């Protein structure tokens, strides 16, 4: 760690991991509700558990992105953060606003929360992923502005590296696109049209810039490969992301009342969206193969390689699976969507946040470069447990989805939704088991921060294979 | 990557490509906005329907159901429930009104929302309006 102000990243990472645990707890609750329909009903209805699950996911990823920025921006800009105090204040504002919102979801019926927070003044609630009360949304905007001011000034006054500029573009885009969550017309089609400007243009647009720049930063650090090469790759990846992903939004405009030319545009452009993810995989493996040094933090390298592979599988392969209009006609809004949503979010955004945490946390906790061997071994176990179980969650949901599509939408005698759900429940049992294994993996991950603290730091092996 | 392909070339593709496709996207948005009146059933967007959309949102129906295929996958698609219920807003209202307070034992349950008659009429009209949006023949059949 080269700058004192990088330290403010630490509470952000700690909060991210804590909220991650909460997210998974509610995932398990829903996993049970899929099988035992009235589990915890009416105390925690399914929709409430789902809001908590998805909103915690988004909030902890945002904590992760902010922590990542506070850590890497000063190092790239070669100066201290503009205002560490502001970063600390915004941390508490964001954490308390987030906690109050979740308490609100759980403590009172959603309709009461809407009333309590004056949703009728500016109705923005009750839409998937954007369930937060309007005042929470305003809070998010305020935190985002303060955060952008802080890292923006640091970047502009310091050394302007490609990584910093791409990261800043991604973060600014994230904030600007979120403003569309305040637009909620009575016209359902228009509502849905602009809803995707938040959701799709986030995960298949600006967030890819954030993903790419964090990955590039970690790869420079752990491989020692020349910055020029890494930056060129970064430009290629984000160019492909935006060239395919912007018009690719059209894969959500097939069946919501929008004109039918979107079936062509959406299919063709989104079919190319796997390219940037594929490039990321090639990039990560190439850089690690061409490494100029052995970094003692092998866990961080594993996460960096893992995120590139899993993002390609989840977003690229599972996205492509249902992105062509004639396929999507049958799979739209089924368990296929859930399968893809899980692996894509995990592979791309969960894993990149865990990558930067893995790289930065040892330094933030006073090590010189890495955790002890023992701690790293446990962390790598958690990597495999979580990643493999997520692969299985995805496969089981895909199985459920294929049967659902066939029984409900494709066979000669289409069956009602509830009947079909009953028939495919075996897959939901298997998903629940995989979810329990995921939870064990998460437990191992958290434990890895506490074991081997008294043991010596891992050291790099000397031999440097000079291949390629 | 080869020496002939330089970083500044990559950068130019990024800036040029992104700017170009942002503009194309805005152009398509403009065209979509002008085509929508023919497809989005706005002629039937009455005050009752607008109230219904608010009821829909204030009770987070999307947290269990899909609507035109978007939302949660725990409960039936509602974009075409008006048609599935025999083109009857009364049947929709009766279903919502009759949900037991404590759920259905062992079965996926829908909450009792205690909606007023006006709110019930709103939500039913909103679901009728949704079923009349031109969705390019989606869903494939009446089961949603
Ligand atoms: C990391 C990047 C990505 C993430 C995090 C992600 C996540 C998601 C999520 C959560 C949904 C469900 C949205 C909803 O609730 O309605 C979704 C839908 C969808 N995604 Fe992705 N996605 C990513 C990349 C991609 C890519 C690259 C493709 C195409 C190649 C793709 C194709 C689709 C399609 C077609 C749908 C609509 C599914 C439906 O009709 O129900 N996604 N995505
Ligand atoms: C890091 C791990 C996880 C991530 C990133 C994640 C992400 C998500 C996302 C993005 C959605 C919305 C999906 C969509 O709209 O298509 C979702 C819904 C859901 N998740 Fe997870 N999740 C994770 C772990 C789990 C686990 C371990 C379980 C249960 C065993 C679980 C169960 C569910 C269920 C049941 C839903 C609701 C699906 C529906 O709408 O019917 N999730 N999750
Ligand atoms: Fe998308």
Is the CB of A200 within 6 Å of ligand 1?
A: no
Domain ranges of chain A: 1-160
Six token digits for residue A53: 């699950």
- CA dist., res. A335 & res. A326, Å (int): 17
Peptide bond into A220 cis (omega under 30): no
Whether residues B20 and B67 fall in one domain = no
Is the CB of B69 within 6 Å of ligand 1?
A: yes
Six token digits for residue A327: 């396929």
* pLDDT at A33 (0 to 100): 98
User: Would residue A206 be called left, alpha or beta, if left means φ above 0 and alpha means ψ between -120 and 50 degrees?
Assistant: alpha
User: In chain A, positions 144-163, which contact chain B (CB-CB < 8 Å)?
Assistant: 162
**If residue A112 lies in a helix (H) or strand (E), which one and from where to where?**
helix A110-116
Nearest to A50 among B39, B66, B72 (CB): B72
Mutant choice from A169, A257, A260 vs B, greatest count of B C-beta within 10 A: A257
Is the CB of B95 within 6 Å of ligand 2?
A: no
Does the CB of A125 have a partner CB in chain B at under 8 Å?
yes
Does residue B53 carry a pLDDT above 50? Answer: yes
Whether residues B48 and B33 fall in one domain = no
Is the CB of A438 within 6 Å of ligand 2?
A: yes
Task: Using alpha carbons, select from A193, A194, A216, A196 the residue that is nearest to residue A205.
Answer: A196
Using an 8 Å CB-CB cutoff, list chain A residues near B133.
Answer: 188-189, 256-257
- A333/B70 touch (CB, cutoff 8 Å), yes or no: yes
Q: pLDDT tens digit string along A400-441?
A: 999 999 999 999 999 999 999 999 999 999 999 999 999 999
User: How many other C-beta atoms are found inside a 10 Å radius of the C-beta of residue A113?
Assistant: 21
Q: What is the mean pLDDT of chain A?
A: 97
* pLDDT at B3 (0 to 100): 72
Cβ(B82)–Cβ(B92) under 8 Å?
yes
Q: Does residue B99 form part of some domain? A: yes
> What is the phi/psi pair of residue A372, to 5°?
-65, 160
ipTM over 0.90: yes
**Domain containing residue B30:** 7-37
Query: What is chain A's Cα-based Rg?
Result: 22
Q: How many CB pairs lie under 8 A apart between chains A and B? A: 231
Does residue B8 carry a pLDDT above 60? Answer: yes
Question: What is the 8-class DSSP label of residue A462?
Answer: S
Nearest to A239 among B13, B75, B144 (CB): B13
Cβ(A147)–Cβ(A66) under 8 Å?
yes
Q: Does residue B1 form part of some domain? A: no
Does residue A462 carry a pLDDT above 60? Answer: no
Q: pLDDT tens digit string along A207-240?
A: 999 999 999 999 999 999 999 999 999 999 999 9
Is the CB of A30 within 6 Å of ligand 2?
A: yes
Q: Does residue B112 form part of some domain? A: yes
Whether residues B50 and B31 fall in one domain = no
Whether residues B75 and B16 fall in one domain = no
Q: Does residue B47 form part of some domain? A: yes
Q: Does residue B54 form part of some domain? A: yes
Whether residues B30 and B50 fall in one domain = no
Does the CB of A425 have a partner CB in chain B at under 8 Å?
no
> What is the phi/psi pair of residue A73, to 5°?
-60, -50
Q: What is the pLDDT averaged over residues A195-210?
A: 98
Q: Ligand 3 center to residue A351 CA distance, Å?
A: 19
* pLDDT at A367 (0 to 100): 95
Whether residues B54 and B122 fall in one domain = yes
- CA dist., res. A130 & res. A135, Å (int): 12
- CA dist., res. A126 & res. B114, Å (int): 17
Q: pLDDT tens digit string along A373-405?
A: 999 999 999 999 999 999 999 999 999 999 999
Domain count, chain B: 2
* pLDDT at A460 (0 to 100): 81
Q: How far apart are the first and last CA of chain A?
A: 30
Q: How far is B87 from chain A (nearest CA, A)?
A: 17
User: How many other C-beta atoms are found inside a 10 Å radius of the C-beta of residue B89?
Assistant: 17
- A115/B18 touch (CB, cutoff 8 Å), yes or no: no
The pLDDT > 70 percentage for chain A reads: 98
Whether residues B67 and B19 fall in one domain = no
Indicate whether this model's pTM tops 0.95. yes
Q: What is the pLDDT averaged over residues A136-159?
A: 98
Partners of residue B67 on adjacent β-strands: B70
- B134/A257 touch (CB, cutoff 8 Å), yes or no: yes
Q: Ligand 2 center to residue A338 CA distance, Å?
A: 7
For helices A162-178 and A227-248, angle between their N-to-C axes, nearest 10 degrees: 20
10 Å CB burial of residue A48 (0-12, 13-18, 19+) is buried
**If residue A352 lies in a helix (H) or strand (E), which one and from where to where?**
helix A351-364
Q: Which residues of A330-365 are buried (b: 16+ CB within 10 A; e: fewer)?
A: bbbbbbbbbbbbbbbbbbbbbbbbbbbbbbbbbbbe
Six token digits for residue A465: 């294979």
Does the CB of A118 have a partner CB in chain B at under 8 Å?
no
- CA dist., res. B107 & res. A68, Å (int): 44
- CATH label of the domain that carries residue B110: 1.10.760.10
Q: How far is A300 from chain B (nearest CA, A)?
A: 25
Is the CB of A278 within 6 Å of ligand 1?
A: no
Q: Does residue B114 form part of some domain? A: yes
- A255/B135 touch (CB, cutoff 8 Å), yes or no: yes
CA A136-A140-A144 angle, 5° bins: 170
Q: Which of A58, A196, A244, A319, when mutated, tests ligand 1's pocket best, judged by the most ligand atoms within 8 Å of its CB?
A: A319
Whether residues B60 and B104 fall in one domain = yes
Task: Using alpha carbons, select from A351, A316, A348, A319 the residue that is nearest to residue A336.
Answer: A319
- The residue assigned the tokens 């409430």 is A48
For chain A, the 3-state helix, strand and coil shares in percent, each to the nearest 5, are 75, 0, 25
Q: pLDDT tens digit string along A13-38?
A: 999 999 999 999 999 999 999 999 99
Task: Using alpha carbons, select from A76, A50, A359, A422 the residue that is nearest to residue A227.
Answer: A76
Six token digits for residue A253: 């405009």
Q: pLDDT tens digit string along A87-138?
A: 999 999 999 999 999 999 999 999 999 999 999 999 999 999 999 999 999 9
- Give residue A468's pLDDT band: very low, low, confident or very high (50, 70, 90): very low
Is the CB of A56 within 6 Å of ligand 2?
A: no
- Give residue A1's pLDDT band: very low, low, confident or very high (50, 70, 90): confident
- A127/B62 touch (CB, cutoff 8 Å), yes or no: yes
Q: Does residue B72 form part of some domain? A: yes
- CA dist., res. A380 & res. A300, Å (int): 9
Q: pLDDT tens digit string along B65-115?
A: 999 999 999 999 999 999 999 999 999 999 999 999 999 999 999 999 999
Does residue A466 carry a pLDDT above 60? Answer: no
User: How many other C-beta atoms are found inside a 10 Å radius of the C-beta of residue B134?
Assistant: 17
Six token digits for residue B23: 């503009």
Cβ(A314)–Cβ(A342) under 8 Å?
yes
Nearest to B109 among A38, A128, A249 (CB): A38
> What is the per-residue DSSP string for chain B?
--TTS-HHHHHHHHHHHHHHHHHHHHHHHHHHHHHGGGTS-GGG--HHHHHHHHHHHHTTGGGT-EETTEE-SSS---TTHHHHTTS-HHHHHHHHHT--TT--TTS---------HHHHHHHHHHHHHHHTS--TT-SSSTT-
Q: What is the pLDDT averaged over residues B138-144?
A: 98
- The residue assigned the tokens 């970063």 is A87
* pLDDT at A75 (0 to 100): 98
Cβ(A191)–Cβ(A217) under 8 Å?
no
**3-state class (DSSP) for residue A372:** strand
Question: What is the 8-class DSSP label of residue A118?
Answer: T
- CA dist., res. A265 & res. A254, Å (int): 10
Q: Does residue B2 form part of some domain? A: no
Cβ(B18)–Cβ(A205) under 8 Å?
no
């Amino acid at each position: 760690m080269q700058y004192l102000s990088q330290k403010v990243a630490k509470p952000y990472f700690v909060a991210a991991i804590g909220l991650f645990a909460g997210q998974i707890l509610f995932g398990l609750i829903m996993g049970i509700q899929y099988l035992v329909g009235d589990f915890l009903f009416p105390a925690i209805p399914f929709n409430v558990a789902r809001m908590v699950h998805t909103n915690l996911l988004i909030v902890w990823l945002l904590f992760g992105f902010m922590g990542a920025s506070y850590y890497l921006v000063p190092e790239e800009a070669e100066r201290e953060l503009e205002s560490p105090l502001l970063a600390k204040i915004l941390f508490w504002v964001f954490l308390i606003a987030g906690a109050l919102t979740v308490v609100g979801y759980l403590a009172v019926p959603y309709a009461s929360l809407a009333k309590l927070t004056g949703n009728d003044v500016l109705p923005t609630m009750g839409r998937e992923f954007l369930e937060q009360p309007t005042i929470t949304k305003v809070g998010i905007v305020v935190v985002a502005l303060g955060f952008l001011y802080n890292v923006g000034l640091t970047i502009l006054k310091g050394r302007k590296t490609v990584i910093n500029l791409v990261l800043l573009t991604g973060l600014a885009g994230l904030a600007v696109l979120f403003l569309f969550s305040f637009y909620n017309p009575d016209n359902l089609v228009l509502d849905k049209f602009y809803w995707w400007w938040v959701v799709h243009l986030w995960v298949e647009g600006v967030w890819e810039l954030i993903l790419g720049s964090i990955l590039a930063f970690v790869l420079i650090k752990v491989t020692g490969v020349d910055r020029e090469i890494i930056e060129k790759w970064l430009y290629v990846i984000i160019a492909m992301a935006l060239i395919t992903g912007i018009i690719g939004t059209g894969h959500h405009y097939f069946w919501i009342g929008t004109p039918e030319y979107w079936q062509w545009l959406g299919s063709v452009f989104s079919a190319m969206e796997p390219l940037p993810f594929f490039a990321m995989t090639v990039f990560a493996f190439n850089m690690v193969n061409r490494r100029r040094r052995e970094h003692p933090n092998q866990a961080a390298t594993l996460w960096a390689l893992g995120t590139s592979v899993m993002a390609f599988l989840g977003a690229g392969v599972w996205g492509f699976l249902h992105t062509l209009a004639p396929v999507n006609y049958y799979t739209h809004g089924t368990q296929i969507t859930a399968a893809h949503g899980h692996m894509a979010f995990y592979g791309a955004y969960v894993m990149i946040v865990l990558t930067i945490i893995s790289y930065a946390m040892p330094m933030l906790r006073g090590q010189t470069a890495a955790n002890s061997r023992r701690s790293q071994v446990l962390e790598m176990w958690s990597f495999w447990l979580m990643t493999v179980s997520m692969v299985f969650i995805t496969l089981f949901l895909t199985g459920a989805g294929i049967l659902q599509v066939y029984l409900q939408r494709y066979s000669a005698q289409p069956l009602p939704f509830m009947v079909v759900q009953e028939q495919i429940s075996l897959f939901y049992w298997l998903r629940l088991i995989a979810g329990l294994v995921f939870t064990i993996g998460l437990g191992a991950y958290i434990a890895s921060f506490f074991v081997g603290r008294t043991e010596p730091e891992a050291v790099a092996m000397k031999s440097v294979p000079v291949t390629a | 990557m080869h020496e002939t392909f330089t970083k500044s070339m990559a950068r130019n593709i990024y800036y040029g490509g992104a700017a170009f496709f942002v503009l194309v996207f805005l152009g398509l948005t403009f065209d979509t906005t002008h085509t929508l009146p023919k497809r989005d059933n706005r002629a039937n967007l009455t005050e009752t329907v607008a109230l219904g959309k608010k009821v829909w949102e204030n009770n987070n129906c999307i947290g269990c159901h899909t609507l035109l295929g978007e939302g949660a996958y725990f409960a039936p698609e509602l974009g075409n429930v008006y048609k599935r219920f025999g083109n009857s807003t009364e049947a929709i209202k009766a279903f919502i009104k009759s949900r037991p307070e404590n759920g259905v034992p062992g079965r996926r349950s829908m909450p009792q929302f205690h909606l007023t008659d006006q709110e019930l009429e709103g939500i039913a009209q909103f679901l009728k309006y949704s079923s009349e949006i031109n969705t390019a023949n989606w869903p494939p059949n009446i089961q949603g």
